[in-house]
Amino acid sequence: MYYTEIEQTNIFKDENMADKIDTDTKKLMLRKQPCFSQLREEEIEILASLLVEKHVSPGEIIVKEGDPVDSVYLIVSGKADVRCIKDRNHPDQTESVATLIPGDAIGLNETGFYSLSGIRTATVIAIDEMVLLRLSVAAFHGFALAYSHVNEVMRSYARKLLGMNT
């Protein structure tokens, strides 16, 4: 398994719980995402509690182009290949458009959720053993409804990035 980097950053609660990422690491991973960087400590803490750890094997499809977006993933360790369909008439023919590494996200960009349509825009395949943190879109929406500040922060941040006046 691909834990060398993880063990060095001491993200597990203890040596006997090698499948549990600690809360501080979850919070750190959230803060690395620009769209969450302005959230309050309490909000980050709650959002971190919604993250679910997932282990992925090399060659495993994490998300598939055209599928509904039901969650986003934060990459704790490992690498993934982002592939897009080259020709809609031949959906089995894809091309690599990016490689994702620890700290990157699947389904998020700097303004928030990547897909405005609610449909995956690419297929992401694990290159090697990966540890991911999964955030369900439904859980995030419930969180955002409970904390109005979250919506305000994300909208403000997106407007700023897009050069729009508030």
113: confidence class by pLDDT, cuts 50, 70, 90:
low
125 contacts: CB under 8 Å, gap ≥ 6: 59, 60, 61, 62, 80, 81, 83
| Residue pLDDT, tens place only, 14-35 | 343 345 899 999 999 999 998 8
The Cα 136–Cα 100 span in angstroms is 20
- Closest by CA to 73, choosing from 59, 54, 93, is 54
Question: Tokens standing for 12?
Answer: 């597990």
Question: Tokens standing for 26?
Answer: 């979850």
| Residue pLDDT, tens place only, 38-79 | 899 999 999 999 999 999 999 999 999 999 989 999 999 999
The Cα 161–Cα 155 span in angstroms is 10
CATH number of 4-162: 2.60.120.10
Q: Is the pLDDT of residue 100 over 60?
A: yes
Kindly provide the residue ranges of all beta strands, DSSP E only, lying in the chain, ordered along the sequence.
52-56, 61-63, 71-77, 80-87, 90-100, 105-106, 108-109, 112-113, 123-126, 130-136
- By percentage, how much of the chain surpasses pLDDT 70? 78
The Cα 55–Cα 52 span in angstroms is 10
154 touches 108 (CB < 8 A):
no
Angle 147-150-23 from CA coordinates, rounded to 5°: 85
User: So where are the chain's domains?
Assistant: 4-162
Greater confidence, 138 or 15? 138
The Cα 79–Cα 71 span in angstroms is 18
